[in-house]
Amino acid sequence: MIEARDKKVPYLFLFPAFVGLLLFKLYPIFSAIIQSLHTRIFLGEELKFVGLNNYINLFEDPVFWNSLKVTLKFNLVINPLQIVLALLLALLLNANIKHIAIFRGINFVPVAVSVPTACILWKIMLSPEQGVVNSILVALGMNPQPFLTSSSQALGSIIAIASWKGVGYWALFLLAGLQEIPPTLYEASSIDGASRWQQFRVITYPMMKRSLTFVVVSDTVANMLLFAPMYILTSGGPNKSTNVLMLESYNSAFLYSDMGRASAILVIMVLITFIIISIESKLLKPEY
Amino acid sequence: MTTKIMDRRIKMITCMILILTLLTSCGKGGNNKVQESESDSSTTEVLFIAYSNYEEPLKNVVDQFKKSNPEINVKLELAPFNQLMETIEIKMGAKTEDVDLLFVDSPLVVNYAVKGYLEPLDDYFSFDPKDVWADEAVNGATYQDNLVAAPLNSSSQVLYLNKDIFKEKGVPLPAEDERMTWEETIEIAKKLTYDTNNDGHNDVFGFSFDQVDRAYQLLALSDSLGVEMVSEDGLTTDGYINSPEAVKAFQFYYDLFNTWGVSPKIDREESIDYFISGKIAMFLGANHNLPKLEESDLNYGVTLHPYFEGHEVATPTGAWNVGISKYSKNKEAAAKFLEYLTADLEGAKTFFEVGGTLPVHLELLDYIANDPQYDDFPNNIIRISAKESQETAVSRPKTPGYLEWETNMNRAFENIKNGTDPKEALDNAAEEIDRLLKKYEGVTE
Amino acid sequence: MNRQSGSSWYIYIIHIFVALVILLPLAFALVSSFRPLNDIFKYMSPVTWKTFLPTQITCDAYVNLFRERGFGRIFFNTFYVAFVCVIFGVILGSMAAFAFAFFNFKGKNVLFLLVLITFMIPAELVAIPLYSLIDRLGWVDTYYGLIIPVIANGLVIFLYRQFFMDLPKELIESARIDGASWIGIYWDIIMPLSKPVTVSAMLLIFIQHWESFMWPLVATRSKEYRVVQVALSDFTTEYATYWNEMFATVIISVIIPVMVLLPLQRYFIQGITHTSLKE
C-alpha cells in the first residue's frame, strides 16, 4: 500500500464517484431505512414513527418466514450452480481451438436478452399445455411436465431460466481472468508432467481468485435481488413456492400500500446479503 | 517512451472532447424544454398519466380539446398496463406536483382516496354526475359521497364461438340472444374437446376464459351464486371468499381444468391467441377483443354470458376512471380537460369512436341502443355488451385494500387451475388477505 | 499453448450441445418473428417441421417496428444513453478503484463498505426517494434524469479494484521516482494495462443499461426519450399481445449487442500480452 505524501490524493480520486453514489444510491437507501421505521397514516399526509414495529410484525408473519426459506433455498442452489457452470464454460471457451470466437459469440447471446424478455420467451416454451418443450417431450414419447405450474418444479424451472441467461455473462468475466494467466506457467508444468486437474488446482485456481471473487460476490448479490422472473412467471406461486423476499418487498411497496414493510424487508435482505458475501470473500481470500 | 506518452495524451484529449460534445448535446435536451415552457408562459401544461393502450383515442380528444382551449396544453405520459400502477405509486408517493391527471382502475378508487391521491371533483363539475353517466359507473367512482374520479369507459364479456369447430363436431350453434346455463355450456364443451392427431393429448378445447386466473372475470361465477366476496366494511374476507357457496363456484373453475379437462391450462396473455388459432371452441371474452377478431380470418359467432342454472345472471364489468391529483398545481385546467374527455358529448364520443371501448356516458349508451348500425353482427356485440353492462353487471368488491385482495385472489385462482383443492386455496387466501387488510382498520366509517 | 488441438473433437461436441441449448428459444423467436401474428400459436403443437419453419413468411413485424413504433429512435436513445453511461462509468469507477487499490487512507474500509452496499439494493424499491430527488432537480423527462443517477456504479468500482490489486506495486513506486504525477500514473500506466478489465466493465455497464426498465419508465415520459425495454413492454396490452413484433424486437435486441461485443473480443485475447507483469 502506498501512503501519498499529500493526504488529499486518494480522496480526490474518490470524489467524482462518491458524489454520484451519495446522491443517487446512498441517499435513497438511507431514506428506505428511515421509511422502515414509519408507517403510513391513511386519509392523512404524514407518516407515523413506529420504531421497530414493522420488523416485529414481519417476524410474526408466516409469509415472511416462508419467503425467507424460499430465498435461501433458491440462493443455495442457484449460486453454486451458476458459478460452477460459468467456470466450466469459461475453461471451455478458453480452449485453443479453431472457430472458438463463434462459440464465444453464441454464449454471449442470452446476455443480450433482457430478463423480462427471457422470461416471456421461456414462459411460452414451457407452457404446460402446448409449449414447445412439452411438444418435444410428447414427440419423444415422454409425458408432458407442468414446469412453472407445479410447486415442486417451479423454483427449479426459474433457476434453469436464470442460468440460461446468467451463466454466459459470468463466464465472460472469468474468461477475462483466465486470459490473464501466463501460458508459460502451463508450459512449465506440462514439462513437469502435471495432469490437467493438477494444473487447475495449482495454477488456474490461485491465479484467478480475484476475478472469481468478483463473480461470486456479484452473482450472489444479483441472485439475492432477483425477483423479475418470479414476478413475471409465477407471481410467487404456485402455493408460494417461488415467493422470494424481494418479491414480497416489491408487492408490499406497490400493491399492498405498505412502504414500511417493504423497506423493512429490504433492510433485512441487505443484512443477509452482506453476511453471505463477507463469508464468501473470506473463503476466497488470495494468499499472496 | 515519450512518444508513447504523447500518444496517450492525444488520445485523452480526443476523449475529453468527445465527452464534452456529448455533455452539450445532453444539455440541449434539458435546455430545449426550459425554453419551450418559457416562451409560451400563458399556456398551462396539464400532465396526464395514462394507460398506453389508449394512446390513439386520447390523442384525438386532446387535439380536439386544443382547438377550443388553446391555453391548455395536455401532455400524455403513457405507461404499459403492467406498470401503470407502479408508475402512479412512485410518482404519487414522491408527492410530485408534476402529475395533474391520472388513470384510476374502478376498484382502486377507494384505495387512492384513502391514500390521499385524489382531489374530490364535486367543486369542479357544475352538473350532477348521475345525469351524465350510468349509475353503476358513478357509484364506482364515489368515495364517502364525493365523486373522486370521472368514469371514462366500461367493459363487458360475451361468449365468442368458433363456428368451424361446432360444424366439425356437428354440434348446433347456440342462438345469439340465447343465454345458456353453465351446465349446458360444459356439456357442449365436452363434445368439442378432442385430440386431432392421436398422440393422446387434447389439442382442441371446448372452453376458455379470456382473462384466465383474473378476479375481474372469475367473479362472475361467484356473483351468479350470489356470494359476497368481502365484508360490508371491506376489511374481512374469512367467511366470505371461502364460504361454501364461494367454494362451490370455484370448484367449477377447478373442474374445468382438472376434472373435465375442457379448458387448457394457459395464461391470460395466450388465451386470445389460442382462440384465434382455432384451438378453442367457446371463448368468454371482452367486447374489446372484437377488433382483433375482425382482423383475423376466424369464422366466429357470439352468444350471451352463461349463468348457473336456477341462479342469478351476473356478468363481469370493469372500468377506467380519471382522477385529479391532490398535489397538482393546475387543478382548474385539469378539471376542464377532464370534463371534456368524460362528460362532454363531443369528447366522450371521440373517445368511444376511436378507442372502441364501451362508453358510460348516458347519451352514448342511448345512441348504441337505438342506432341501426348496431343491429347486425359483428357490431351488435357492442350493443349486447352495453346492455349487459347496464343490466347484469356486478362490480368488484369495494375495499380500501383492493390490490391486496385481488393479488391474493388471482394467486388462489392460479393455484386452483393448477390443481390445488379450491377450499384449501381460498382458506389460505382469506388468511393472508385479512392480515394485509388489518392496516386499514379505522379508515372506513 | 496449453490446450493441444489433437484431442479437441470432444470439446467441439460439448460446444455444439451448449450452443443448441442456448439457441433453442431464440430460434423459436426468430421463426415466430417472420410469421403473421395469427399463425404464431398454430403450429406449436404437435411438433412438426412447421414448428420451426414458417409456412408463410412476412416481414410485417420488422416493418411495423421501425415505421409505426419508431424503433429507430428507441434504439438510438438506448445506445446514446448507454454510451454516455459507459464512458463516464468507466472513468469514475476506475478512479475510485485506483484509490481503493493503491492507497492507505482514513475511512477506507467504511467507504468501501458503502460502495458494496450501493449495489445490493434493487432500483425499483428505492425509486420513490430517487424520483422525488430528480423531480426537485427538474430532471424529469430529460437525458440528465436518465443518465446521471446511474453513472456512479459500485459494481464497476469493485470490478476494477479486484483487478488493480493484482498489479505489482513496484510499477507505481518506480514511476513516482521518475517524477510522474498521480493522475499521470493512473492514466498513462494503470489504465493502458487495464484493457481487458475495461472491456468487462464496459460490458457490465452496457448490459445493466440495456436491461434497465423501471427507472427509464418513471424518469421520462416523452417518446423521444423512450428506451428499448420500456418499448418492449408495450407489446403486452390488456387485450392482446403482439407476439410477432415482440419476437422481432428480441431478435434485433440480441443481434445489436452481439455485434458490439464481437469486435471487442480482441481485447480479451490481448490480455495475455500483459501477463509478464504478474510474475
Of C34, C58, C82, which residue is a domain's last? C58
Question: Is residue C63 one of the residues assigned to a domain?
Answer: no
pLDDT at C74: 85
> Is B403 near chain C, with CB under 8 Å?
no
pLDDT at B39: 44
Q: How confident is the model at residue C270 (pLDDT cuts 50, 70, 90)?
A: very low
pLDDT at A288: 52
> Is B401 near chain A, with CB under 8 Å?
yes
Task: Report the alpha-carbon distance of residue A112 to residue A115 in Å, rounded.
Answer: 9
For residue A69, the surrounding DSSP H or E stretch is helix A62-93
Q: How confident is the model at residue C46 (pLDDT cuts 50, 70, 90)?
A: low
Question: What domain count does chain C have?
Answer: 2
> CA B307, B432, B156 angle in degrees (round to 5)?
30
Question: Is residue B445 one of the residues assigned to a domain?
Answer: no
Which is more confident, C15 or B252?
Answer: B252
| Beta carbons of C154 and A25 less than 8 Å apart | yes
pLDDT at B10: 61
pLDDT at C275: 41
Of C58, C84, C105, which residue is a domain's last? C58
Which is more confident, A44 or B415?
Answer: B415
Which is more confident, A120 or B19?
Answer: A120
Pair C122, C173 in one domain: yes
The beta strand positions in chain A, using DSSP E, are 38-40, 47-49
Question: Is residue B30 one of the residues assigned to a domain?
Answer: no
**Domain range enclosing B412:** 157-316+401-440
Pair B378, B408 in one domain: no
Pair B310, B177 in one domain: yes
pLDDT at C12: 86
| Beta carbons of C129 and A32 less than 8 Å apart | yes
Q: Letter for the amino acid at A24?
A: F
Q: Which residues contact C151 (CB under 8 A, 6 or more apart)?
A: A20, C85, C88, C89, C92
Pair B287, B333 in one domain: no
Query: What CATH number should be reported for the domain holding residue B377?
Result: 3.40.190.10
- A239: distance to nearest CA of chain C, Å? 24
C-chain CB neighbours of A113 within 8 Å are 26, 250, 253-254
pLDDT at B205: 95
Question: Is residue B6 one of the residues assigned to a domain?
Answer: no
- A25: distance to nearest CA of chain C, Å? 6
> Tens digit of pLDDT for each residue in A143-162?
888 899 888 999 999 999 99
For residue B184, the surrounding DSSP H or E stretch is helix B182-191
pLDDT at B182: 96
| Beta carbons of C218 and B87 less than 8 Å apart | yes
Pair C116, C167 in one domain: yes
Which is more confident, C238 or A44?
Answer: A44
A-chain CB neighbours of B93 within 8 Å are 259
Pair B413, B323 in one domain: no
Query: What CATH number should be reported for the domain holding residue C187?
Result: 1.10.3720.10
Beta strands B142-143 and B280-286, pairing class: unpaired
Pair C101, C238 in one domain: yes
Which is more confident, A106 or B369?
Answer: B369
**Domain range enclosing C45:** 1-58
pLDDT at C170: 85
| Beta carbons of B30 and C139 less than 8 Å apart | yes
Q: Is B236 exposed, middle or buried (0-12, 13-18, 19+ CB in 10 A)?
A: middle
Which is more confident, C72 or A18?
Answer: A18
Residues of chain B with pLDDT below 70 are: 1-41, 444-445
Question: What domain count does chain B have?
Answer: 2
pLDDT at B181: 96
> Tens digit of pLDDT for each residue in A203-242?
888 888 888 999 999 999 999 999 989 988 888 889 899 9
Pair B71, B143 in one domain: yes
Pair B359, B349 in one domain: yes
Question: Is residue B95 one of the residues assigned to a domain?
Answer: yes
Pair B144, B287 in one domain: no
Side-chain half-sphere CA neighbours of A43 within 13 A: 10
Pair B309, B368 in one domain: no
Of A139, A144, A149, the CB nearest to B418: A149
Task: Report the alpha-carbon distance of residue B267 to residue C38 in Å, rounded.
Answer: 17
ipTM of the complex: 0.88
In this prediction, residues C69-95 reach a mean pLDDT of 89
- Residue B206 C-alpha cell reads as 371446448
> Tens digit of pLDDT for each residue in C108-162?
999 999 999 999 888 888 888 999 899 889 898 889 998 999 899 999 999 999 8
> Tens digit of pLDDT for each residue in C27-37?
888 888 888 77
Q: Which residues contact B122 (CB under 8 A, 6 or more apart)?
A: B146, B147
Mean pLDDT estimate for chain A: 88
Pair C74, C49 in one domain: no
Question: Is residue B212 one of the residues assigned to a domain?
Answer: yes
Pair C81, C121 in one domain: yes
DSSP bridge partners of B103: B322
Q: How confident is the model at residue A183 (pLDDT cuts 50, 70, 90)?
A: confident
| Beta carbons of B286 and C239 less than 8 Å apart | yes
Pair B274, B174 in one domain: yes
pLDDT at B29: 44
> Is B7 near chain A, with CB under 8 Å?
no
DSSP bridge partners of A38: A49
pLDDT at B409: 96
pLDDT at B27: 44
Q: Which domains does chain A have, with CATH numbers?
A: 60-283 (1.10.3720.10)
Q: How many helices and strands (H and E) does chain B possess?
A: 18, 13
Pair C75, C159 in one domain: yes
> Tens digit of pLDDT for each residue in B202-249?
889 999 999 999 999 999 999 999 999 999 889 999 999 999 999 999
pLDDT at C245: 81
